[in-house]
Amino acid sequence: MIRFDDKVAVVTGAGAGLGRAYALLLAERGAKVVVNDLGGSTRGDGSSTNAADTVVEEIKKKGGIAAADYNSVVDGDKIIKTALENFGKVDIVINNAGILRDKTFSRISDSDWDLVHNVHVRGAFKVTQAAWENFRKQKYGRVVFTASNAGLLGNFGQANYSAAKMALVGLCNTLAIEGAKYNIHSNVIVPTAASRLTENILPPDFFEQLKPELIAPVVTWLCHEDCEENGSIIESAAGWASKQIIVRGKGSVLRRSLADPVSIEDVREKWDKVVNVEKIDYLGSIQEETANLTKYFSEMDGSLDEADEENDFSDKY
């Protein structure tokens, strides 16, 4: 059985929805859990101790160990302090707290933009950074960031939220690289779940099937010491999960030789090839990306006639 005995987990926004499900499952499997929740509205107004307290009580009733924390994630150091004061260390951070301020782009105010970015991006930065030195010293840490298909694919009326969610993908990508040698793994979860954030958005029949408890085992596995995953985007909903990847088309060389310039007409002429994604490259790292680019130099050099097809992943993905 997969256990989390002797592990301390911080789950932000754990007073409801997905975070609550993560906190309950981690505690059931032996982790000591900091249940963080500001207890405000879906728009980020107000605060209350009820949300965190209710989940802590639920955990304790089932024989688990938990402590409540009522700070906003923007005060990440205070949340990690709650973990250190109550349990002496921190091993796992699940950045889950979130709010919405949906508006079409032209109607987004500065405060709609800033608050959404503060909670999702600055919050995840502050909580994770406050835990990071502890992770490095103990050579162990697991971090989960929460993105959204609204960020990966876009969604009408969610420009502020989409931008914030995509920022977390970039943050995770770099932390996965910086943390690797310290056994700190960072991954992104892209959930779709029934919660107060989605109750008026998702169709009722669909909503019924999207229990947060069906995603919790995926996120919890990402936090386990046996899980080697690092730097991945994992999408999950309704008892299904899959890795999402970023790919690049084969593209087109835009000039005949390395000595030639590129004209706008060259771009127009080659445009169909530039945007053709029938064949793709999967670029797992920035090194692969750079190495892949250099082969196009050979093409411009005249030493290669056609783009090298060896790295074609079209059939694989």
Kindly give the interhelix angle for 159-179 and 110-117, rounded to the nearest 10 degrees. 30
Strand residue runs (E) in 63-132: 65-69, 92-95
Residues contacting 265, CB < 8 A, separation 6+: none
Applying CB under 6 A, among 24, 56, 87, 98 the residue interacting with ligand NAI is 98
299 and 305 Cβ atoms separated by less than 8 Å: yes
Residue 18 within binding range of ligand NAI, rule CB under 6 A: yes
Residue number, 15 or 231, with CB nearest to ligand NAI: 15
Strands 233-237 and 240-244: antiparallel
Applying CB under 6 A, among 19, 76, 179, 251 the residue interacting with ligand NAI is 19
Residue 148 within binding range of ligand NAI, rule CB under 6 A: yes
* Integer Cα distance of 130 and 117 in angstroms: 18
Asked about 70 being catalytic, the answer comes back as no
Nearest of 286, 291, 249, 290 to residue 270 by alpha carbon: 249
Applying CB under 6 A, among 193, 214, 234, 241 the residue interacting with ligand NAI is 193
Residue 231 within binding range of ligand NAI, rule CB under 6 A: no
Residue 54 within binding range of ligand NAI, rule CB under 6 A: no
The number of residues that bind ligand NAI (CB under 6 A) is 32
- Token pair of 76 as six digits: 């990440």
Residue number, 98 or 251, with CB nearest to ligand NAI: 98
Catalytic residue among 161, 182, 282, 317: 161
Q: What is the DSSP letter of 139?
A: T
3-state class (DSSP) for residue 87: helix
Q: Please report how close the Cβ of residue 167 comes to ligand NAI at its closest, in angstroms.
A: 12
Q: Please report how close the Cβ of residue 152 comes to ligand NAI at its closest, in angstroms.
A: 10
Applying CB under 6 A, among 7, 9, 15, 299 the residue interacting with ligand NAI is 15
Q: Please report how close the Cβ of residue 212 comes to ligand NAI at its closest, in angstroms.
A: 6
Residue 64 within binding range of ligand NAI, rule CB under 6 A: no
CA distance readout (Å), 289 to 162, 180, 281, 310, 311: 25, 19, 9, 14, 11
Residue 42 within binding range of ligand NAI, rule CB under 6 A: yes
Residue 158 has phi, psi (to 5 degrees) of -125, 35
- Which chain residues interact with ligand NAI by CB under 6 A? 12-13, 15-19, 36-40, 42, 44, 51, 72-73, 96-99, 119, 123, 146, 148, 191-193, 195-198
